[in-house]
């Protein structure tokens, strides 16, 4: 039995005890997947697993707290589940986790950049380390590394790190390609250059909040401080400075909690490289508190705890 069939079987068996299981189904063409909310055995037939299953379904879990929910997770998605559990935002007893070993997902932004436009795709299929795609009657065969999500290039945890059912074989983590990361390259720029870069990027932001809404760790929803009038940290004006303030709120609220899933950057319709800010925050909190989010269910949030003597913080007196 292949991975998909094994997964479907697991879900069908578990479904009677659950309110719903979340997975993916094909969207309007073979390149786009869309979340699938399975309530009946027939729904399970539509499940797909593969390089188009880009969304992290963990984002829906906190709002479903109280229901009995199943969720299909890739390696990166599973870290969000672990982090949500560690913050007591989910009940483990009400959750059934269906894990599998992920082989990388596509980045529609990178693909679009390669192909110019992404109109209707007749077929898209991953064959070993290539993506074969038929677009406007033309066959294209692209190296997967050129069009996969950036996070997949350096992914060290392709297998769900927490699961009740694991379908198919464990994948071997890939050895990250040599060379500088985007963050390292960005940090070669001077401070004024960085500031101007963000100024230009923030003028492009349309404040759609897709970055926030796709973030599995952004759980405040309607109570988000970015839209509250009291306190009024940021105005609704979509100017560069207000947009930047909003981004930095996201970064600060995610410090020590961000699981590096890349959903914010993927969801951004303006292709703003939001991952740079998150990568920096992760680097900082890992160095300061020697802990990475989403790996340990028992972990305490670093910014909700302290040591009387902080080894990593220079005393200021």
Residue 267 interacting with ligand SF4 (CB under 6 A): yes
Residues 6 or more apart whose CB falls under 8 angstroms from that of 286 comprise 292
- In the list 44, 57, 217, 219, the residue contacting ligand SF4 (rule: CB under 6 A) is 217
- Report whether 216 contacts 56 (CB < 8 A): yes
Query: Quick one: what does residue 4 bind among another protein, ligand SF4, none, with the CB cut-off 5 to 8 Å set by partner type?
Result: none
Cβ neighbours of residue 177 closer than 8 Å, sequence gap 6 or more: 145, 153, 154
- Where in 177-196 is the site for another protein (CB under 8 A)? 177-183, 185-187, 189, 191-196
Beta carbon of residue 100, minimum distance to another protein (angstroms, whole number): 21
The stretch near ligand SF4 (CB under 6 A) out of 168-176, 191-199, 219-227, 258-266 is 258-266
Task: Pick one of 65, 280, 286, 291: the residue that binds another protein (CB under 8 A).
Answer: 280
Neighbouring residues of 44: CB distance < 8 A, sequence distance ≥ 6 = 8, 11, 12, 15, 21, 38
Contact 216, 254 (CB under 8 A): no
Smallest gap from Cβ 215 to another protein, in A, equals 15
Instruction: Check binding of 254 to ligand SF4 (CB under 6 A).
Output: yes
Cβ nearer to ligand SF4, comparing 72 with 254: 254
Q: Distance between CA atoms of 135 and 143, rounded to whole angstroms?
A: 16
Q: Which of 217, 274, 220 is nearest to 248 (CA)?
A: 274
Does residue 214 contact residue 56 with C-beta atoms inside 8 Å? yes
Q: How far is the CB of 73 from another protein (least distance, A)?
A: 20
By a kind-dependent CB cut-off of 5 to 8 A, residue 117 interacts, out of another protein, ligand SF4, none, with none
Contact positions vs ligand SF4 (CB under 6 A): 205-211, 214-217, 254, 258-264, 267-270, 272, 274, 278
């Amino acid at each position: 039995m292949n991975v998909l069939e094994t997964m479907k079987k697991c879900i069908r068996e578990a479904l009677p005890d659950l309110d719903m299981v979340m997975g993916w189904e094909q969207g309007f063409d073979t390149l786009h997947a869309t979340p699938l909310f399975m309530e009946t055995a027939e729904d399970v037939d539509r499940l797909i697993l593969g390089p188009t299953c880009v969304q992290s379904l963990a984002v829906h879990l906190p709002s479903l707290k109280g229901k009995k929910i199943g969720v299909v997770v890739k390696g990166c998605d599973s870290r969000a589940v672990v982090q949500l559990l560690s913050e007591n935002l989910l009940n483990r007893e009400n959750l059934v986790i269906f894990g599998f070993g992920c082989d990388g997902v596509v980045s529609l932004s990178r693909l679009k950049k390669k192909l110019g436009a992404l109109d209707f795709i007749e077929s898209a299929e991953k064959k070993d380390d290539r993506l074969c795609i038929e677009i406007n009657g033309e066959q294209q065969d692209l190296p997967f590394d050129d069009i996969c999500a950036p996070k997949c290039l350096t992914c060290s945890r392709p297998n769900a790190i927490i699961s009740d059912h694991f379908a198919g074989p464990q994948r071997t983590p890939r050895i990250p390609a040599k060379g500088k990361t985007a963050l390292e390259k960005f940090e070669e720029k001077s401070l004024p250059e960085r500031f101007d870069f963000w100024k230009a990027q923030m003028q492009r932001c349309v404040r759609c909040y897709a970055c926030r809404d796709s973030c599995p760790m952004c759980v405040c929803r309607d109570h988000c401080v970015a839209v509250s009038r009291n306190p009024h940290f940021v105005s609704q004006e979509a100017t560069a400075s207000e947009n930047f303030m909003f981004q930095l709120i996201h970064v600060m609220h995610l410090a020590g909690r961000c699981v590096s899933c890349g959903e914010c950057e993927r969801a951004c319709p303006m292709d703003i490289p939001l991952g740079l800010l998150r990568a920096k925050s992760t680097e900082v909190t890992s160095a300061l508190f020697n802990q990475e989010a989403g790996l340990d269910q028992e972990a305490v949030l670093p910014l909700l705890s302290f040591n009387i003597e902080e080894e990593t913080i220079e005393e200021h007196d």
